[in-house]
A and B are shown apart, each in its own frame.
Chain A
Amino acid sequence: MTASDPMAEIRASFFVECEELLEALQDGLHALETGTDDGDAIHVIFRAVHSIKGGAGAFGLDHMVTFSHRYETVLDAVRDARLAVTTDLLGLFFRAADHLSDIVRAAREDEDFPVATSAALLSELDAHAADPQPADQPQEPDFAPVALSLDLLNDPETKNETALNRYQIYFTPEPELFETANDVPHIFAALAELGDLTVKCDTNRVPTLNQLAPEAVYLSWALSLDTIVDEAEVASIFEFVDGLCELQILPGPTTSVADEADTSAEPGKSNASSAPLSEPEASAPPRDTKNKTFVRVDIERVERLVNLVGELVINQAMLSQSMQSAGLSPHSDAMNGLEEFQRLTRDIQDSVMMIRAQPVKSLFQRMSRIVREASASVSKDVRLITDGETTEVDKTVIERLADPLTHMIRNAVDHGIEPAHARVENGKPAQGAIHLRASHRSGRVIIDVSDDGGGIDRARVFQTAKDKELVSADANLSDADIDNLLFLPGFSTASSVSDLSGRGVGMDVVRTAIHALGGRITISSEPGQGTLFSISLPLTLAVLDGMVVDVAGETLVLPLSVVSETLTLTKANVEALGPGRSVVRNRGAFLPLLDLGSVLGYRTISDSFVDRIALVLTLEDEVSIALVVDEIQDQRQVVIKGLDDSFYRAPGIAAATILGDGQIALILDPADIVAHANAGGAISSTYHVQEARA
């Protein structure tokens, strides 16, 4: 821990807490909206806004305090059943929650607030407040933010010797004073700190012992205080007991101060004993073991752990390789131990990855806001239905998914969902629906974005592609091919470009972003029924199950997830279609054969593939091909080392890794390889992959 400024640390943790509170706020509003409220939602919502206000006040975030205070005022009216929740009010609550999260973010980033939006929302909120503030009055009479200074060492009262004031104080406690655990000597001690105090106790009303009622109060005091502070400060000592005693504070000197001053005033027959002896060695309070406890950890520490585990995986591969080359029997103790070591390494790695895993919930909540804003801006009624919010994915993946998802959701609202009248004509509900689903499938996470809109207008897409000369006029494309045209850079079917999005505009960007995460995006559409975008992502960006192959003397790694089987090519199953073009018969289908060595430019294409080895790759969009390699080395976990931008971004290369013998191998992006091979020899023999020698 390098930070030494405790306030900065608390401030940072306040913003973390804000994120949690904003999430709880969204959950609560969502429960109100969907009617799944168990009665607690409004309290949760209120507390979330209230807590944000409390923390914001401590850090002098005035704007946040003002906004949350007036938001809270309306929530309070709902909480006290003075105000009924209507659809309109709920909409306002959602917008206010969105705005509050903007304010929090702006405060965290030290940015300016969208003040105009604030003002508009505040006047809307005030309109709902039971007791609206007149516009020209100060808006939060009972809550003035005071920036907190933790300056404990310097006594704020710098003792400027000014004229001494003398106060006469007459004080008679009532029994209730003691019932609230206030006590007289404590008050006098506090007074004594303000200056010179003389205390005289009046014991005249004390009865004889047999008449003494234990809970009655018989004493009163006359005090004289010489001090530099003003009367208000003297009165503030009695603030807690105001109304629980008879009190008179008279300024000015007087002669009636008793000589027999008794500064150690008798506590009288107070039934409130003084504070119990403290137990400095008392053990920490036992935690509720039923509650989960959490540790907050700096992300840098986790990153370091991830890197170390990466090194461990590499090291284990090195060990395994050198033991094999030492010719140890696979049944030797050392080899058995190595197997156990491998298992443990994998367990550690899984556990470390779990530390970084987060539910996609926060991401999905952001998307519900996108739907609200997007649908409002194009005047459509669209709701977002989410599913699988608890699905966990690596934090980095979640962060980098936000932009592509936002784009897709906007697209769906703007172009996927038809206008209400068109929906009704087609027998659909006027309100459009967008589904956002997350799930785990065979070691990957699948995120589906679907809408129940009109589907892709394929005729128009095809026509647009022809007009833009993206496909030849006589091309014969399948429906799936046409849908995939949407991913071409610069493609748009929008006849008029809306300010929100154009379906197609930017879909190439979405796809690039997904690819950068090692993911795939596929599209399917049913005319009149809607469109589904499906994203498949690796759970983590750090480690990959790979197949290590040799091609033209180079060692390369393919993600194991795409390899469905391996084939040995024979005369019987290979058909040559033309120079350099062959297919292999496999399970009743013909798969195109691609020579990896020539695709990557290591060598010219071979004439014959017979007796060579091929890997059948099944890619996300159901494309299968057979990739010819020279040799299969191993299946193993590899640690992904990203290639930074100083390397040429070579098509077909995703990243690099370090092998057990210290050699660097490139990790391939199979879909990219296939795409480039299909693009008609874009990867030619003149093309050379730069080797990453990191």
Chain B
Amino acid sequence: MSLEILAVDDSRTMRDMIRLALEPVGFTVHTADDGVHGTEVLADLNPDVIITDINMPRLDGFGFIDAVRNGSDHKTTPILVLTTEAAPEMKMRARSAGATGWIVKPFDPTKLVKALQMVAG
């Protein structure tokens, strides 16, 4: 199944890793550098799944999820949070913002693909 993904992360390394994990399995990967950029990109994009980092300049992951969920176009687009923190509070916070799920960094590419396929159906 080929999915269209938007990955929002301020780390170029992390964006490259996501690309490297997903493009070989046939996914289309778009990237954005932070939450603000992510919302700009979303204006012209309809991804199957959004992946977002939490710690980012200008607009962080929570703010970005909030913006996506409060907008009209992507209320039901699955959003996976990619985070270094696996603490339950973080998961709760991500979920209450509207995140669909989370992946702990450093991610295992196979698991990332599976998680994406699972939330996208």
Residues on A close to B: CB < 8 A? 6-7, 9-10, 13-14, 17, 43-44, 46-47, 50-51, 53-55, 57-58, 142-143, 145-152, 155-156, 179-183, 185-187, 189-190, 237, 239-240, 243-244, 272-276, 278-280, 282-286, 288
Chain B residues lying within 8 Å of A244, measured Cβ to Cβ, are 95
Question: Tally of A-B residue pairs with Cβ under 8 A?
Answer: 162
Decide if B3 is an interface residue (CB 8 Å cutoff).
yes
CB distance from A79 to the nearest CB of B (A): 10
Please state if A55 and B121 are interface contacts (CB–CB under 8 Å): no
Q: How far is the CA of A542 from the CA of B3 in the complex (A)?
A: 49
Select which of B17, B25, B56, B121 is within 8 A of A189 by beta carbon: B121
Q: Which of A155, A186, A272 contacts B118 (CB 8 A)?
A: A186
Beta-carbon contacts under 8 Å, B21-45 to A: 21, 24-25, 28, 30-32, 37, 40-41, 44-45
| Sampled A-B contacts (19; CB under 8 Å) | A10-B20, A50-B55, A54-B105, A142-B86, A148-B17, A148-B107, A152-B24, A182-B78, A182-B100, A182-B101, A183-B121, A190-B114, A240-B102, A272-B76, A276-B48, A278-B47, A280-B4, A282-B46, A288-B40
Q: How far is the CB of A224 from chain B (nearest CB, A)?
A: 20
Verify B45–A58 contact, CB threshold 8 A: no
Identify which of A55, A150, A186, A278 contacts B11 (C-beta below 8 A).
Answer: A55
Q: Which residues of A contact B59 (CB under 8 A)?
A: none
Q: Tell me the minimal C-beta distance from B58 to chain A in angstroms.
A: 10
User: Judging by beta carbons under 8 Å apart, are A182 and B119 in contact?
Assistant: yes
Measured in the bound complex, the distance between the Cα atoms of B102 and A187 in whole Å is 15
Complex Cα–Cα for A43 and B56 (A): 9
Chain A residue contacts of B12, Cβ below 8 A: 13, 17
> Is B79 a contact of A181 with CB atoms below 8 Å?
yes
Cα distance A498–B24 when bound, in Å? 59
Contact assessment for A47 and B118 in the assembled complex, using a CB-CB cutoff below 8 Å: no
B37 → A minimal CB distance (Å): 6
**What is the chain A residue whose CB lies nearest that of B75?**
A181
CB-based contact B21/A240 at 8 Å? no
Q: Which residues of A contact B44 (CB under 8 A)?
A: 282-283, 285-286
B71 to chain A, nearest CB (A): 13
Give the residues in chain B near A57, CB-CB below 8 Å.
84, 105-106
Q: How far is the CB of B10 from chain A (nearest CB, A)?
A: 7
Identify which of B13, B28, B108, B117 gathers the most chain A CB atoms within 10 Å of its CB.
B13
A146 touches B95 (CB 8 A): no
A183 to B121, CA, bound (A): 8
Complex Cα spacing A143 to B106, Å: 9
* Closest residue on chain A to residue B3 by CB atoms: A278
Residues of A within 8 A of B106 (CB): 54, 57-58, 145-148
* Contact assessment for A280 and B28 in the assembled complex, using a CB-CB cutoff below 8 Å: yes
Chain B nearest CB: distance from A281 CB in Å? 9
Interface size on B, residues (CB 8 A): 59
B70 part of interface (Cβ distance < 8 Å): no
Chain B residues 57 to 94 lying within 8 A of chain A, measured CB to CB, are 57, 75-79, 84-87
Chain B residues with CB under 8 A of A148: 17, 106-109
- B61 CB to closest chain A CB, in angstroms? 12
Known A13-B12, A181-B98; contact A240-B3, beta-carbon cutoff 8 A: no
**B105-A186 in contact (CB<8A):** no
Residue of B nearest to A153 (CB): B24
A97, B117: Cα distance in complex, Å = 40
Which label, helix, strand, loop or mixed, suits the secondary structure of the A interface? Answer: loop
Q: Considering only CB atoms, which chain B residue lies closest to A178 in the complex?
A: B76
CB distance from A133 to the nearest CB of B (A): 15
In the complex, which residues of chain B have a beta carbon less than 8 angstroms from the beta carbon of A150?
Answer: 20-21, 109
A294 to chain B, nearest CB (A): 10
**Closest partner residue, chain B, to A14 (CB atom):** B13
With a CB–CB cut-off of 8 A, which chain A residues contact B48?
275-276, 278
Q: What is the chain B residue whose CB lies nearest that of A278?
A: B4
- Which one, A50, A152, A156, A180, contacts B84 given CB within 8 A? A50
Interface residue from B2, B14, B41, B75 paired with A280 (Cβ < 8 Å): B2
Contact B13 A181 (CB under 8 A): no
A633 vs B9: C-alpha distance when bound (angstroms): 59
B103 to chain A, nearest CB (A): 10
B16 touches A285 (CB 8 A): no
Q: Is B51's CB within 8 Å of the partner chain A? A: no
* Cross-chain contact B13 with A186 (CB below 8 angstroms): no
Q: A142–B90 Cα gap in the complex (Å)?
A: 11
Asked whether B76 lies within 8 Å of A181 as measured between CB atoms, the reply is: yes
A59 to B: closest C-beta gap in Å: 8
Q: Smallest Cβ distance from B102 to chain A, in angstroms?
A: 7
Contact, CB under 8 Å: B119 / A47: no
Q: Which of A6, A7, A181, A280 has the most CB of B within 10 A?
A: A181
Apart from A13-B16, A286-B40, list 13 A-B contacts with CB within 8 A.
A44-B57, A55-B11, A57-B106, A145-B106, A146-B106, A148-B17, A148-B109, A155-B110, A156-B110, A275-B121, A282-B45, A283-B44, A284-B30
Query: Smallest Cβ distance from A64 to chain B, in angstroms?
Result: 12
Which one of A54, A240, A282, A284 contacts B14 once the chains associate, using CB atoms below 8 Å?
A: A54
Q: How far is the CA of A155 from the CA of B25 in the complex (A)?
A: 13
CA A274 to CA B47, docked complex, whole Å: 12
Point out the residues of chain B lying under 8 angstroms from A145, CB to CB.
106
CA distance A147 to B121 in the complex (A): 28
Interchain CB contact under 8 A, B77 and A276: yes
A143–B4 contact, CB under 8 A?
no
Q: Which chain B positions have C-beta within 8 A of A142?
A: 85-87
Instruction: Across the A-B interface, give the 5 residue pairs with the lowest CB-CB distance, nearest first.
Output: A240-B101, A285-B41, A58-B106, A186-B121, A57-B106
A43 touching B57, Cβ below 8 Å: yes
Instruction: Please determine whether A58 and B105 come into contact, CB atoms closer than 8 angstroms.
Output: yes
Report the minimum CB–CB distance from A166 to chain B (whole Å).
22
CA distance A187 to B117 in the complex (A): 10
The answer to whether residues A190 and B30 also contact, given A13-B12, A55-B14, A57-B106 and a CB cut-off of 8 A, is no
**CB contact under 8 A between A275 and B13, given known A142-B85, A152-B24, A181-B98:** no
| Closest CB in chain A relative to B35 CB, distance in Å | 13
User: In the complex, A13 Cα to B19 Cα: how many Å?
Assistant: 14
State the CA gap A239–B86 with chains docked (Å). 12
- Contact among A7, A44, A143 for B85, CB-based, below 8 A: A143
Report whether A17 and B11 are in contact in the complex, using a CB–CB cutoff of 8 Å.
yes
A286–B43 alpha-carbon span in the complex (Å): 9
The smallest C-beta distance from A678 to any residue of chain B, in angstroms, reads 54
A354 to chain B minimum Cβ distance, whole angstroms, is: 23
Asked if A275 and B118 sit within 8 Å, CB to CB, the answer is no
Residues of chain A within 8 A (CB-CB) of B118 are: 186-187, 189-190, 237, 240
Residues A181 and B77 in contact, CB atoms below 8 Å apart: yes
> Which residue of the partner chain, among B13, B32, B85, B119, contacts A10 with CB atoms under 8 Å?
B13
Task: Find the A residue at minimum CB distance from B47.
Answer: A278
